[in-house]
Chain A
Amino acid sequence: MRPMHRLTLFAALAVCAFRLDAQKATTVDLTREVAGREPKSFLPMVGNWVVTKDDGRNVIFADGRVWKKGQAAGGLADKARAIYGAEHEEFIDNVKAFAYFPIAVARDIPDFANGEIAVRFKMIGGTLDRCAGILFNVKPNGDYLAVRFNGTEDNVVLWTFKEGKRTFTKRGTENFPLELGTWNDLRMTVHGTDFKAYLNGKLAVEFTLPAPVSGKVGLWSKTDSMSEFEGFTVTPGAK
């Protein structure tokens, strides 16, 4: 191959590689949601999730006030079927066991394996807990990972949920005494098994996952937490 042709081929390959790397970010659109109703863009699997207005914008609200231990969200079977088809029974069986943790799955994000997930959250309150988190690696049997901020502990922690049981995975060492009623940014990145989580731009948790992830993603809350979410954005990384 002549040098000129070789250069052209290299340039073409470089462009292709760049396009693979810079895949488009998807922000879940809440503008068509209806305030006061359950969200359509996020499927509430556990807990009470509604669309509410904040400063004129639609946001997702995890309302722990009406949470009751062991109660799954209404229409769980239909929602599980919508995302996992015939395998939904296993999801439901397991989801009852961790009903302490409200989750809402992003409907139109088919899978997340590598890249970045970001969300803005505002803690409103809660007597037992004041949590907000990102749900990822959600499997058809209901297993998942969650990285969350807890306002009663002021920290960021990565948790593993497997077969209905929650296992502590990695706690950030820094305390973040956030004020209620303020918007904050929670962001996580996954590259292979390399996991990082950032709170308001600051690295909060770093961890090597036992295996690469692949699964649904969404929002996470805990017990009676009242938290708002917006700007849920998924940016796939290079494959």
Chain B
Amino acid sequence: MSRALRLSVLSLTVAPMLGAQRPAAPTARACRVDTTAAWWQSQRAYSDDSKHDWTDDALRQRLLVAAGYDASTAFAAELGWRLANTQTESPVDSAVRAQLRAMAGKRQWPTRTLVGVGGVHAAWLIAQRDSTLADFAMHRMMEAGPGESSSAELAVLQDAQRLRAGRGQLFGTQFTRDANGALRVERLEDSTHVDMRRDGAWLPPLALSRCLAERTK
């Protein structure tokens, strides 16, 4: 299972136990994930791969293997937070990397139509291991249009890319820990409207993401 998914599932399952051991942590009530909320439902609806209607199964399989991602795992929502700069660059299967770079060069990318939701997620995981691929992925996912990739995953890529470029993040998905271990949101541009942007990107409100993040200490 990918790191992102592990973090997401961890947040929902293990976090309440950790919270019980740490009186200062947010309460389970404050961190409650409402599965009827629009952001959750949008992610859930997008994640439906049951029609098996993608067109390039060979590429999908290559991506799944390269990412080490099992597309049959149960739905796990993107909860809109991760520790910035913890995604270390790591080797990507050279053939897959070359193929993704070649696709990006032709303004293409593994889309939902091409490789299904599982394949898109696998490509996203791979892209995060390589900042050059991540930049390609971000631009091609934006160009591909709505429904061809996860808005939440695209938001995460954009935030990471902007921080790398020395600009403020837009969706508040990137957190950092200070010397005392306290979580803080990395530099955020226009914090007034961050929850509107999160709503548009199928992400939970920032307060909920922060709450969930704090519970995973």
- Please report A residues at the B interface, Cβ cutoff 8 Å: 64-65, 68-69, 124-129, 152, 177, 179-182, 223-224, 226
Q: Are A128 and B146 in contact (CB under 8 A)?
A: yes
- Bound Cα distance from A68 to B42, whole angstroms: 13
Interface hits, B174-197 → A, CB 8 Å: 189-190, 192-193, 196-197
Q: What's the nearest-Cβ distance from chain B to residue A127, in Å? A: 5
The answer to whether B64 has its CB under 8 Å from any CB of chain A is no
**Which of chain B's residues has its CB closest to A181's CB?**
B190
Q: What's the nearest-Cβ distance from chain A to residue B173, in Å? A: 12
The answer to whether B200 has its CB under 8 Å from any CB of chain A is yes
* CB-contact partner of A124 in B142, B167, B196, under 8 A: B196
Known: A128-B142, A181-B190. 10 other contacts (CB 8 A): A65-B199, A124-B193, A124-B196, A126-B200, A127-B154, A127-B158, A128-B145, A128-B154, A129-B142, A226-B200
- Grouping DSSP codes into helix (H, G, I), strand (E, B) and loop, the A interface class, with mixed when no group exceeds half, is loop
Query: Using Cβ atoms and an 8 Å threshold, which residues of chain A touch B200?
Result: 64-65, 125-127, 224, 226
- Bound Cα distance from A129 to B201, whole angstroms: 12
Query: Using Cβ atoms and an 8 Å threshold, which residues of chain A touch B151?
Result: 127
- Bound Cα distance from A226 to B154, whole angstroms: 16
Given the known interface contacts A65-B200, A124-B190, the answer about A180 and B142 at a Cβ–Cβ threshold of 8 Å is no
Q: Are A125 and B196 in contact (CB under 8 A)?
A: yes
Query: Using Cβ atoms and an 8 Å threshold, which residues of chain B touch A182?
Result: 190
- Bound Cα distance from A152 to B147, whole angstroms: 19
Q: Are A179 and B145 in contact (CB under 8 A)?
A: no
Q: What's the nearest-Cβ distance from chain A to residue B206, in Å? A: 13
**Which of chain A's residues has its CB closest to B147's CB?**
A69
- Give per-residue flags for B35-75: 1 if the beta carbon is below 8 A from chain A beta carbons, else 0: 00000000000000000000000000000000000000000
- Bound Cα distance from A124 to B195, whole angstroms: 11
* CB-contact partner of A181 in B145, B158, B192, B199, under 8 A: B192
**Which of chain A's residues has its CB closest to B153's CB?**
A127
* 10 smallest beta-carbon distances between A and B, as pairs: A181-B190, A125-B197, A180-B190, A65-B200, A127-B201, A127-B151, A124-B193, A128-B142, A180-B189, A127-B154
Q: Are B196 and A226 in contact (CB under 8 A)?
A: yes
**Which of chain A's residues has its CB closest to B203's CB?**
A127
Q: What's the nearest-Cβ distance from chain A to residue B187, in Å? A: 11
Q: Are B142 and A125 in contact (CB under 8 A)?
A: no
Query: Using Cβ atoms and an 8 Å threshold, which residues of chain B touch A69?
Result: 145-147
